[in-house]
Amino acid sequence: MNVPSRFLLAAAFSLGGLALTPAAHAQRTDSTSTVKPQLNTAPPGTAPRPATPAPRPQQNQQQTPVPAPTPVYEPMPTAPSSDKPSGLDFPVGSRASEQPKPLRKYFLYSNFGLGYSSNPYSGGQFSASLSPSIGYRVSERLAVGPGISYAYNNISFPRDYQAVGLPSSLSLHSIGVKAFLQYIVFDQFFVHAEYEVTKAQSYDIYQVGPQRLQAVKTNRTMNTPLAGAGYRSQLGDRFAADIVLLYNFNNGYDAQGYPLSPYGQPVIRFSFLYDLK
């Protein structure tokens, strides 16, 4: 490009700038005037979508109400005692006294008996007996066992017999074996039955002269069934005392006037019981 052409191009740009300057000045001075709203002539569907709000954090629609804590009231401690050394009650059934006691199967059973009977022809008979036994409990109420017995008898003769030579009294001793049965009926009341076979010392009366008699001791086997009732008094964990009243089913005398049993009527016994382990 030559110099005249460059000069003409620069002059043209200068004239164009001068022509645009009044329009720009008019636009700046007209900024305080009211601008009319312009209608949106854009085609449908080109409008910008409104901004979507940020999602809120989801919350449980139904919340389970939390129950208020129940107040706990602690019992006031009580004063210590022999049964409650720590001041607290033991659970029911935990004390040793509340536990069921084991059934002790074996026990020692001894008794001391007294009896008296009289006969207008042969006089009176006083008896005392001692009889130790070993008992076995079949159940809490029923007990059985064997034993041995010793009996002392004193025979007192009437005055008519004494006048013809008989002594005023005669002492006799007997030893035997027996078996007994006891059954507790109610509380501490029980029934008692036993059967005893005794090698008993007895006597015979002989006539030794005119109007003279003599009593001679002899041995006899006597069978004695006894039955009655008694009451037991507990003296401790293992000790007990009984009082028993028995009826002698073989009491009396034979045709010759001799006693049929070493015991009188009735038979009263005081017994002592001791439980073994």
| pLDDT score of 127 | 83
Q: Is pLDDT at 11 greater than 80 in this prediction?
A: no
In a domain, 254, yes or no: yes
- 108: buried, middle or exposed (CB in 10 Å: 19+, 13-18, 0-12)? middle
Identify the residue with better confidence: 167 or 277.
Answer: 167
Q: Tell me, what CATH number does 206's domain have?
A: 2.40.160.20
In a domain, 36, yes or no: no
Identify the residue with better confidence: 70 or 226.
Answer: 226
| pLDDT score of 192 | 96
Confidence of residue 145 (pLDDT cuts 50, 70, 90): very high
Q: Which structural domain range is residue 147 located in?
A: 106-275
CA dist 67 and 261 (Å) reads 87
In a domain, 268, yes or no: yes
Confidence of residue 25 (pLDDT cuts 50, 70, 90): very low
Number of domains in the chain: 1
Select from 213, 126, 214, 132 the least CA-distant residue to 172. Answer: 126
| pLDDT score of 277 | 72
In a domain, 136, yes or no: yes
Q: Is pLDDT at 93 greater than 60 in this prediction?
A: no
| pLDDT score of 255 | 74
Convert the pLDDT of each residue in 101-134 to its tens digit: 677 899 999 988 888 877 666 678 888 888 899 9
In a domain, 5, yes or no: no
> Once rounded to an integer, what is the mean pLDDT over residues 68-95?
60
> In the chain, what percentage of residues exceed pLDDT 90?
24
In a domain, 187, yes or no: yes
In a domain, 153, yes or no: yes
In a domain, 88, yes or no: no
Identify the residue with better confidence: 164 or 18.
Answer: 164
Q: Is pLDDT at 26 greater than 50 in this prediction?
A: no
Alpha-carbon distances of 182 from 7, 137, 179, 219, 222, rounded to whole Å: 158, 9, 11, 31, 23
**82-86, 155-159, 161-165, 233-237: which range is least confident on average?**
82-86
Strand partners, 151: 129, 174
Token pair listed for 144: 């059985």
Q: Is pLDDT at 24 greater than 50 in this prediction?
A: no
